[in-house]
């Protein structure tokens, strides 16, 4: 039964254990994989990497011996420290759908799986857009890491078919296979950290039982996750994109823009990262009016998820500074010193200086970076009042 289900999703599913060895052989034979990796490591290390990869027989082997150690080493190099809390909300026999805010193209989900491995939990499957998978060896590696593919930019008829297909895959993975999944609360990262769950994401998730969306979402056992980055290495790239979209509403990122964001996000300084599980939302879903129309249901569920994410942020000193700057207030003056404020101002200037864009609007770019660090505090304060 499970194989039949999996086979019907061959176009989007992660790789199975019986496909690992052949896929690793394909990756390690790809000249472009070697050309990408070798500049960052020594020849002896390259040989060790290939040998270690070829010893992997299962997806778990690959995640445990390749992915996790490489990312943890990268975190050491970039002086990144990761903490987490509220693991008690992940216990239970049922699998869960983790819905998180979206800061980094690659790392948001990768951090969750690293923490799962470190805490001796089963890793989760990860939703990833096909816009990131133009390079064959990259596509193979993400599928080795339990990623399933979200197809985008299709003609409307095909898109509707793929959305239904994706909803069926997610529901069967969680409900029938009892395998947990991570998905971002929105398509694309929140460029100003104003984290809001897209209604379209919830509609997609419920399509497998579209006549009863509340029951459909309840059966997915949703647990919100709040990810807090001390520094977002892509903040200046996000600010740049905001100005380009402001100046040209038709502007769209290119493949090369995605690659630059991925590389900067992985290799850039992030400082401290905190992942906090929120409370499972089913108790709140059970209290909703079952007779509400679908629009009201999706809006209510989005609000529940958002409030849980907003209440579980971890704040760093410059989040308070940014909030005071964006509101022109002294609300959190007791949380920082003038030295802290001056240092944050210098940081913003340094990031704005990195931006190369036509008709550069420094005041606008500066305000966008401030929003990225201040909006989390704003949303937290508003969530407290609900």
Whether 366 and 295 map to the same domain: the answer is: no
Residue 189 has pLDDT above 90, yes or no: no
Query: Binning pLDDT at 50, 70 and 90, where does residue 92 land?
Result: confident
Rounded CA separation 184/187 (Å): 7
Query: What tokens were used for 16?
Result: 């199975």
The pLDDT of residue 6 = 55
Overall number of domains in the chain? 2
Q: With respect to residue 203, please indicate whether it lies within any of the assigned structural domains.
A: yes
Q: Find the helix or strand (DSSP H, E) in which 337 lies.
A: none
Closest by CA position to 123, among listed 184, 69, 61? 61
Q: Are residues 380 and 290 in the same domain?
A: no
Does the pLDDT of residue 3 top 70, yes or no? no
- Report residue 254's pLDDT band, with 50, 70 and 90 as the boundaries: confident
**pLDDT the model gives residue 152:** 83
Instruction: Please report where in the chains the tokens 């390690």 appear, as a residue.
Output: 28
> Do 134 and 280 sit in the same domain of this protein?
yes
Report the distance separating Cα 291 and Cα 239, nearest Å.
42
Judge if 310 and 323 occupy the same domain: no
Range of the domain at 89: 2-230+268-314
Q: How confident is the model at residue 1 (pLDDT cuts 50, 70, 90)?
A: very low
**Burial class of residue 49, CB neighbours in 10 A (0-12, 13-18, 19+):** middle
Residue 373 has pLDDT above 70, yes or no: yes
What is the tens place of the pLDDT at every residue in 30-65? 999 999 888 877 777 899 999 999 999 999 999 999
């Amino acid at each position: 039964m499970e194989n039949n289900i999996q086979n019907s999703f061959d176009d989007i599913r992660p790789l199975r254990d019986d496909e690992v060895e052949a896929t690793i052989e394909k990756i390690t034979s790809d000249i472009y994989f070697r050309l990408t990796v070798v500049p960052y490591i020594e020849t002896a290390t390259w040989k060790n990497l290939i040998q270690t990869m070829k010893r992997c027989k299962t997806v778990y082997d690959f995640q445990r011996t390749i992915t996790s150690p490489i990312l943890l080493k990268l975190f050491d190099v970039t002086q990144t420290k990761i903490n987490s809390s509220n693991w008690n909300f992940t216990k239970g026999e049922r699998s869960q759908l983790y819905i998180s805010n979206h800061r980094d193209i690659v790392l948001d989900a990768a951090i969750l799986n690293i923490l799962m491995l470190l805490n001796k939990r089963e890793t989760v499957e990860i939703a990833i857009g096909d816009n990131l998978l133009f390079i064959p060896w990259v596509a193979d590696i993400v599928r080795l890491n339990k990623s399933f593919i979200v197809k985008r930019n299709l003609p409307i008829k095909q898109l509707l078919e793929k959305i239904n297909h994706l909803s069926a895959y997610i529901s069967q993975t969680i409900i029938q296979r009892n395998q947990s999944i991570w998905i971002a609360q929105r398509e694309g990262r929140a460029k100003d950290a104003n984290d809001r769950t897209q209604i379209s994401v919830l509609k997609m998730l419920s399509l497998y039982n579209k006549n009863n969306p509340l029951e459909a979402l309840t059966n997915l056992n949703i647990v919100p996750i709040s990810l807090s980055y001390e520094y977002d290495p892509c903040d200046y790239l996000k600010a740049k994109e905001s100005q380009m979209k402001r100046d040209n509403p038709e502007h769209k990122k290119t493949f090369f823009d995605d690659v630059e964001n991925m590389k900067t996000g992985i290799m850039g300084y992030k400082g401290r990262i905190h992942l906090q599980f929120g409370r499972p939302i089913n108790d709140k879903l059970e209290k909703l009016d079952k007779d509400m129309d679908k629009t009201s249901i999706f809006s209510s569920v989005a609000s529940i998820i958002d409030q849980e994410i907003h209440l579980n942020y971890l704040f760093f000193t410059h989040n308070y500074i940014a909030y005071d700057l964006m509101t022109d207030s002294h609300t959190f003056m007791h949380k920082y010193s003038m030295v802290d404020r001056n240092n944050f101002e210098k940081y913003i200037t340094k990031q704005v200086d990195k931006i190369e864009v036509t008709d550069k609007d420094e005041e606008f770019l500066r305000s966008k970076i401030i929003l990225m660090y201040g909006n989390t505090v704003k949303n937290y304060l508003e969530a407290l009042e609900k």
